[in-house]
Chains A and B, each alone.
Chain A
Amino acid sequence: AQKVTQAQTEISVVEKEDVTLDCVYETRDTTYYLFWYKQPPSGELVFLIRRNSFDEQNEISGRYSWNFQKSTSSFNFTITASQVVDSAVYFCALNSSGGGADGLTFGKGTHLIIQP
């Protein structure tokens, strides 16, 4: 069985602060993929990043960075110098070979509020 846990239900920070969203996953498979999605207040789900289990390099894209650590089964997401437009619900998701063809297992999401 596979599982994704996002323990932070809601985070509120003031604009320009750095913020990290935690994601812990469980799988018995050695090959798997991790994803982050963003759901802004408008409601659509936007794919942000994918990481495979064989690549532990951290990823940086502008103000966004992702830290993948197999040793702790975590795939955390950091926003540097947060902005109001970052306010959204963020979902972490897992796709492992044992999960079958039904695709992604999602965490319950973290609601990020950036206050001006």
Chain B
Amino acid sequence: NAGVTQTPKFQVLKTGQSMTLQCAQDMNHNSMYWYRQDPGMGLRLIYYSASEGTTDKGEVPNGYNVSRLNKREFSLRLESAAPSQTSVYFCASSTYGWGKWPQHFGDGTRLSIL
């Protein structure tokens, strides 16, 4: 049971570099999400995709872009990394965005920007 798979698990970047965080789910879920978790801030939504073909901004979208490649995959891109983007990033999925459906999370990506 893979569930939600995130790659990579760890990454160190230099300021200004770009990278893409990958996320895939095998639960046939319609909705997918990207969060960042910072100490004392809880989980903050960066972008979400309510269904295949749609993406929308969350609470903290600046500096990020996303692609819903297909129903299974939802990637997060940092075009020009900044130290403020040092964080733990979580991908999640759920059957639908609204309602009784819990979100299922990947194991996270620890990203450090130097």
Interface residues of A (CB under 8 A from B): 9, 33, 35, 43-45, 47, 50, 52, 91, 95, 97, 99-104, 106-109
Given contacts A43-B107, A45-B90, contact A99 B98 (CB under 8 A): yes
Measured CB to CB, the nearest residue on chain B to A33 is B100
Q: Are B105 and A33 in contact (CB under 8 A)?
A: no
Which of B42, B56, B102, B104 is close to A106, meaning CB atoms less than 8 Å apart?
A: B42
Q: Are A102 and B96 in contact (CB under 8 A)?
A: no
The residue in A35, A43, A91, A109 that gathers the most chain B C-beta atoms within 10 A of its C-beta is A43
Given contacts A52-B100, A101-B50, contact A44 B105 (CB under 8 A): yes
Q: Are B43 and A101 in contact (CB under 8 A)?
A: no
Give every chain B residue within 8 A of A103 (Cβ-Cβ): 31, 33, 45, 48, 92, 94, 97-98, 103
